[in-house]
Amino acid sequence: MPRTGQPTASARDATRGFLRHAAHVRPPTRPDSSDIVLLIVAELITNAIRHTDGPCTLHLELHDDHIEIRVTDTSPHPPQPRPPHTDGTGGWGWQLINHLTTHTRTELTHDGGKTIYAHTPW
C-alpha cells in the first residue's frame, strides 16, 4: 500500500473483495468473521503506516479453518504493545489484534523490514 491517498481504505476495499470470494469458496463459521478480518487488516495497515517510513503490502490467504493476514513493512522492529489511552491517542491496536486472532508472529524480511502474520478463524 502506498503512503499517499487512503491506504487503509484501499486495504479494506481489497479485503472486502477477497472476503466475498472466500465466502463463496468456504462460508465463514461465524457471522462476524468478515468484520473481524476487516478490523485486523485496518489495524495492521494503520500501524504499518503510523510506525514506519516506507510502503507496506497486504497478503490474504484462505486456509481450511482460518484466514492468514500478512502485512509487510519497512521497519525491522516488532510491534510493541503500549498502554491503552482512554483519550483516543492509541495503544489499543496490538491488544485488539491479539484478542481477535488465534496466532500472530513477526518475521524479519530479507530486505530489512518485517512481516506480521495474523490468523483468525474463518
Q: What are the tens digits of pLDDT across the range 29-75? A: 999 999 999 999 999 999 999 889 889 999 999 999 999 999 999 99
Mean model confidence pLDDT for the chain:
91
pTM of the model: 0.90
pLDDT of residue 28: 97
In-domain check, residue 1: no
HEC string of the chain equals CCCCCCHHHHHHHHHHHHHHHHHHHCCCCCCCHHHHHHHHHHHHHHHHHHHCCCCCEEEEEECCCEEEEEEEECCCCCCCCCCCCCCCCCCCHHHHHHHHCCEEEEEECCCCCEEEEEEEEC
pLDDT of residue 60: 98
In-domain check, residue 58: yes
Whether 1 shows a pLDDT value over 80: the answer reads: no
Structural domains counted in the chain: 1
In-domain check, residue 42: yes
Domain encompassing residue 52: 7-121
In-domain check, residue 2: no
CATH number of the domain bearing residue 48: 3.30.565.10
Whether 3 shows a pLDDT value over 90: the answer reads: no
In-domain check, residue 41: yes
pLDDT band per the 50, 70, 90 thresholds, residue 111? very high
